[in-house]
Amino acid sequence: MKLFERAKELLRILKAVLSAIFIKDRPLEFVTALVRDYRIQKSSCRLSLYVTSVCSLDCEECIMQFLMKADPKYQMSLEELERFIQASEYSNYSFDFLLTGGEPLIWKNLREGLKRLRRSRICNSIQILSNAMNIDRLDDEIMGYLDGLRVSEYSTNKDNIQILLKKWPDKIWFVNREEFWMNPKTPVPGTLPAKCLNPEMLLYKDQVFACPHSRSIALSAQSELRLGNPVAPHFMKGLFWLKFAQQAEICTRCISNQRVREKTKKTRNIVRPERAA
């Protein structure tokens, strides 16, 4: 019986692969990424948009802090977003987007950026990862563009979470981040091959990185590895091999590597709004 079920599942995957290639005309690099990430039925890859470095908090263990500090005023322009949309449309890619930063609700192009993503041919879904400190920037139009708002819960934003839950109960979910794993200062031995909990790509400054944390970790590790491809037609080609090559230098320092988490302590992820201001 088990064998029969597995054969049925394999057939289902094969049908989805053939349909992606011959009916939907998806390029090979996109289809192989879908198969590798168990997303062939969704027909959509995951990608984070690093929309701003500005943040209303200053969490001690934020893994993006090195990139935020290196480029503290960064705001993704609409022109950059358009270049990415055009290259992706040309390549016939499609994505489940997560807006990250920094704090995405501080992105100066939030409304227009979401509108453009939604009306493009590359958007399967959009979520935002937020600290819920700037909820005055949200309204029904913006929430209408979103499939969900993922909130990191701290002692500083409990009231705001209640307001969000009252207004848009179906679109809000939250995870407590008051405590978090400490960012390793040096590579943690015995943590390869990485068991990655965040396999999505990241767009930042006209580059698509193979993973969401590599650019920030590379800055802290002073690594000069190549980590991504420039935004251009078929930018996903070769990203898998870049990610493979970054393992020893980058993934051994990453708290999204499950094996690093198992060897690292959690600590109070102190947030200081006054320090961020």
CA end-to-end span of the chain, whole Å?
Answer: 61
Q: Is 272 helix (H, G, I), strand (E, B) or coil?
A: coil
Nearer to ligand SF4, 17 or 129 (CB): 129
Q: How far is the CB of 251 from ligand SF4 (least distance, A)?
A: 3
The alpha carbon of residue 88 and the mean position of all alpha carbons in its chain are separated, in whole angstroms, by 17
The string of DSSP codes covering 158-183 is HHHHHHHHHH-TTTEEEEE-SEEEPP
Is the Cβ–Cβ distance between 55 and 103 less than 8 Å?
A: yes
Binding range to ligand SF4, per CB under 6 A, among 48-56, 126-134, 169-177, 207-215: 207-215
- Residue from 194, 218, 236, 239 binding ligand SF4 (CB under 6 A): 194
Q: How far is the CB of 118 from ligand SF4 (least distance, A)?
A: 27
Nearer to ligand SF4, 99 or 194 (CB): 194
Q: How far is the CB of 216 from ligand SF4 (least distance, A)?
A: 9
Q: How far is the CB of 37 from ligand SF4 (least distance, A)?
A: 12
- The tally of CA atoms less than 13 A away on the side-chain side of residue 169 is 1
d(CA 210, CA 241): 9
Q: Is 266 helix (H, G, I), strand (E, B) or coil?
A: strand
Binding range to ligand SF4, per CB under 6 A, among 37-45, 67-75, 134-142, 190-198: 190-198
Is the Cβ–Cβ distance between 72 and 120 less than 8 Å?
A: no
The alpha carbon of residue 255 and the mean position of all alpha carbons in its chain are separated, in whole angstroms, by 14
> What x/- string results for residues 7 through 36 when contact with ligand SF4 is judged by CB under 6 A?
------------------------------
Nearer to ligand SF4, 27 or 187 (CB): 187
**Which residues have a Cβ under 8 Å from the Cβ of 171 and sit 6 or more positions away?**
143, 146, 147, 148, 149
Nearer to ligand SF4, 37 or 89 (CB): 37
The reply on whether position 198 binds ligand SF4 by CB under 6 A is yes
Nearer to ligand SF4, 196 or 203 (CB): 196
Nearer to ligand SF4, 26 or 46 (CB): 46
Q: Which of residues 229-258 bind ligand SF4 (CB under 6 A)?
A: 243, 250-251, 254, 256-257
Q: Which of residues 208-227 bind ligand SF4 (CB under 6 A)?
A: 211-214, 217
Burial 125-134 (b: 16+ CB within 10 A, else e): bbbbbbbbbb
Nearest C-alpha neighbor of 186 from the set 227, 217, 224: 217
Nearer to ligand SF4, 26 or 213 (CB): 213
Residues making contact with ligand SF4 (CB under 6 A): 194, 196, 198, 211-214, 217, 243, 250-251, 254, 256-257
